[in-house]
Amino acid sequence: MNILQRPLLSSSTTSSSSDTRSGVTSPSSESESYFGRGEVSLPQPFSPATLSAESTETRARALPQDLPIPPIPDEAVCKTFDKQDVGTPDEWIPRDSRMVRLTGKHPFNSEAKLRDLYSYGFITPSNLFFVRNHGAVPRIDDETAKNWKIEIHGLCQNSGSLSLDDLRTMFEVVTVPITLVCAGNRRKEQNVVQKSLGFSWGAAGLSTALFTGVWLSDVLGFFQPQKGAKHVIFEGGDSLPNGPYGTSQLLSWAKDRRRGMLLAWAMNGLPLEPDHGFPIRLVVPGQIGGRSVKWLKKIELSENESQHHLHFHDNKVLPMPIGPDQARAEKAWWYDPSYIIRDLNVNSAIASPDHDEILRAPDTEVYTLRGYAYAGGGRRISRVEISLDEGKTWSLAQIQYIEDQFRGVSHHDTVYGSLDLSDSDQSFCWSFWSFDAEVKALKEAPSITVRAMDESLALQPRDMYWNATGMMNNWWFRVCIHRLGDGGLRFEHPTMAGTQPGGWMQRLKDAGLDPSQPVFSSKADGLQVQVTTAQPAVEVSMTKPGVTRRITVEELAAHANSEKPWFVIKGEVYDATEYLSEHPGGPQSITLVAGEDATEDFMAIHSADARKKLAEYHIGTLIGSAEGPKPEPVSETDSKTFLRAKEWKTVTLTRTTDVSKDSKVFRFSLGNAEQALGLPTGKHVYVKLKRKVEQGGKKVPEGQVVQRAYTPLSRGSDKGFIDMLIKIYYPSVDFPLGGRMTVGFSELEVGDVVSLKGPIGHFTWLGSGRASVDGKEKKITNVGMVCAGSGITPILQVLRGIFEDENDRETNVSVLDVNRDLDDILCKAELDEMASKHGNRIQLHYSLTGKSVPETWTGLVGRITQDMLMSRLPRPSEEAIICICGPQEMEQSLKRILTAQGWHPTEQIIIF
């Protein structure tokens, strides 16, 4: 019998009652119950203050002024909407524009600027509390919140569900100060050294609030875990591609009240905001923020840990030798329990002086350095040390344990419940440190360094432990000191959060030095100050040990072909013949540079893992230069076509057009209205652009260079412009930074330029039922086509080449177009018109894979299956081919299936 089927008592009930259905007697006094002291009510109205009526309270409900604890910041919650959220699933949520966005527009992941966060003191206002979202925030209205229940099930004596009213009336309501910290705090520093899988948190990925709720240990005690239960699994109410966010705790930890875990519904006296888990969340102090599940819906007691996707594929510190590409490819790393993160590690940072702060003061004055420090698992920070000589000597800083002020307080009211830490000896909050430095000493110092130690004697390390996820970065925090010509000082932090420019680490990297091995200098040369040096960057070796062959320019030129392509990077020669079929960008990405120096393009777009792999194909060192004689320039007026296969040419964005929720058409001008692009049907162009970074309040194209091949939407014969249909892969759960190239497209504004090179590709539709595959011409009578999303563009070009050809009356086509939702089908009007006009020669099939398939839908449903391919595509024959364009995993999967069905993998299966 469900124990929660009995009537629930209000917190003012004093009489005894018995539930004959369950045989459980309700307690008759506070001493026999879980009840708190006196009546505790939920804040009313119980809805996020940002979304409540203007007449309702929008400031945190203050505690009595006579309590000897730090005040809650007297700041009204943000009621304005940030224009960056327009067009995203979160456009209904008010958000403070001061927050630094780390993943573009969506999902919302952000932190305050460090100076703003620190200036508010111990408690952080909700407006500036850091946010880590994996997807869209669940939109929960008042009625849904009122009826919200947490389901508790699994290996427990009792099972059932609890509403918020159940929680506040059945269990003691408490308020606890807790600092939450993202496991990615300070990740930007790791990303500067080498790009990790995560986005760039600065040093403000932490915040502190008074959380109100009930002890998780009390709730678990009520449900009585059974023998065999080892884990408590928590699941949120968000909707993500691989299922809702979920993770787990060891049951022995979750049952221990000293661990401080709460089921919380309020922050700083007000209901949780949507970004912070409204209406209820789990709060786990002392552990990484990823363990504090928001929008909590389910609690399960189990013998096994959580099986949720992100429990395994997030919040891990993988071994240093494992790079991001290897981590993506080799899934076993994510399932090794050795690499899971629970407790926070010891960490500290300098908040004052701020980045780019200028100090002009006489030598006799004192400047107070300030910052924060924290540790995990409830451990106390035992010391903070400051060095002004790069760690040769250290001085003790003063530590302010503001959390200790709560240990002498015993307060109870109807909003906060019991605020009483008198029996607690755990440290779940950040501490503040300060150090009075003589200005004279600062003027002689090259840098300021801080490190902290906790009571277990864990000490911040000097050197960075770089890892594929970029998590738990806690090496010494260093601020560089620049001496100005007027005697003043300018301070430079290591990095700035997100895409913000600045910081000595990027400056070192741009100078070809290793930012993970800084050596600061106090020498100055007038106004041109060079105050920081470092060890030369340790580059990834791209050569094979023992290879001593010397290769002439003539030998290289003999391999300037697609059969056995050689190319040059940094004076070394590589034979890519065996890698052509494996290259993620397709063989044409390599054959295009056969016989040439590909250093610039390769270094711009390839990761450290790819550079390591390149060594496998190293065959020797080039004698001389691979550049060869430059071709005579062709004037734009003399050339009929725009594209050059060996030369980058710039085009200018003139307009963008939205065609779906995440797809846009970008039109670029060629500069000459009468010039055709010159792209044969079935070929592609390389597109290269620079990602934008913020400088002086503006976004400028000074960031990472990215490039990839695209098939334009416009025809090769169109004059004066090129249209690119781009599906924007915004940041998501599995790819926090989103698609590097497509997000770069989304940053473009009218007037911006990108570079093109081409044509490229191993397939050309020649017309009259003929095609060229790897230079071999063949007759084609049947074409099968499979595409997904924006992969429609090369498919559409070939379709146009077939059905707009007056000399072709025989070629038959079958198209299988797979998308998540109906609105995701791109170019559907043109496809439908083509099918209607040429119905006897074209079979057009759509399939939807999403959860919201319309009731009126008559097409296919589900992902591509082997049966679907066999029944919808032509059978293998001498005059048949299959054309495929979509996500790489889909392309490779289809290639394996089709090869097994009898299709030749290179001559008949065309992957664009």
pLDDT tens readout for residues 72-98: 998 989 999 998 898 889 999 999 999
Query: Is 315 in the active site?
Result: yes
Of the ranges 52-56, 474-478, 543-547, 752-756, the best mean pLDDT one = 474-478
Average pLDDT over residues 802-828: 92
- d(Cα 740, Cα 705) in Å, to the nearest integer? 9
Give, for 218, the enclosing helix (H) or strand (E): helix 216-223
Separation between Cα atoms, residue 207 and residue 179, nearest integer Å: 6
Q: Please give the residue that has the higher pLDDT: either 525 or 460.
A: 460
Taking 70 as the threshold, does the pLDDT of residue 20 lie above it?
no
Q: State the binding site.
A: 182
The single residue of 116, 218, 314, 601 carrying the catalytic annotation is: 314
Region 537-544: what's the mean pLDDT?
79
**Segment 250-306, tens digit of pLDDT:** 999 999 999 999 999 999 999 999 999 999 999 999 999 999 999 999 999 999 999
Euclidean distance between CA atoms 498 and 188, whole angstroms? 7
Handedness of CA 584, 586, 592, 596 (dihedral sign): positive
Instruction: Pick the more confident residue, 267 or 535.
Output: 267
Which has more confidence, 165 or 691?
165
Annotated catalytic, 314?
A: yes
Domains and CATH numbers, the chain: 3-30 (no CATH), 49-315 (3.90.420.10), 347-501 (2.60.40.650), 550-623 (3.10.120.10), 638-761 (2.40.30.10), 762-912 (3.40.50.80)
CA separation for the pair 34, 39 (Å, rounded): 13
Confidence at residue 612, expressed as pLDDT on a 0 to 100 scale: 83
Q: What are phi and psi of 158, to 5 degrees?
A: -115, 155
Convert the pLDDT of each residue in 878-892 to its tens digit.
999 999 998 877 888
Which of these ranges, 201-215, 332-346, 375-389, 896-910, has the smallest mean pLDDT? 896-910
Question: Helix 828-837 vs helix 792-803: angle between axes, to the nearest 10 degrees?
Answer: 30
The pLDDT tens digits for 610-624 are 888 889 999 999 987
Quote the CA–CA distance of 360 and 172 in Å, as a whole number.
54
Query: Sign (positive/negative) of CA torsion 203, 315, 138, 850?
Result: positive
507 vs 431, more confident: 431
DSSP 287: B
Tell me what the mean pLDDT of segment 729-745 comes to: 76
Distance separating the N- and C-terminal Cα atoms of the chain? 60
For 886, phi and psi rounded to 5 degrees? 180, -160
Residues at the binding site for Mo-molybdopterin are 182
Q: According to the model, what pLDDT value does residue 30 have? A: 36
Tell me, what's the pLDDT at 716? 78
Please state, in angstroms and rounded to a whole number, the distance separating the CA atoms of residues 324 and 608.
9
Work out the average pLDDT over 556-580: 87
User: Residues 868-875: what's their mean pLDDT?
Assistant: 90
The C-alpha angle 849, 854, 856, rounded to 5 degrees, equals: 125
Largest Cα span, the chain? 99
Name 784's bridge partners: 814, 882
pLDDT score at 428 = 98
Is there a catalytic annotation at residue 425?
no
Active-site pick, 191, 315, 345, 467: 315
Choosing from 78, 82, 96, 182, the catalytic residue is 182
Q: What percent of the chain has pLDDT over 90?
A: 62
What's the whole-number average pLDDT of the chain?
87
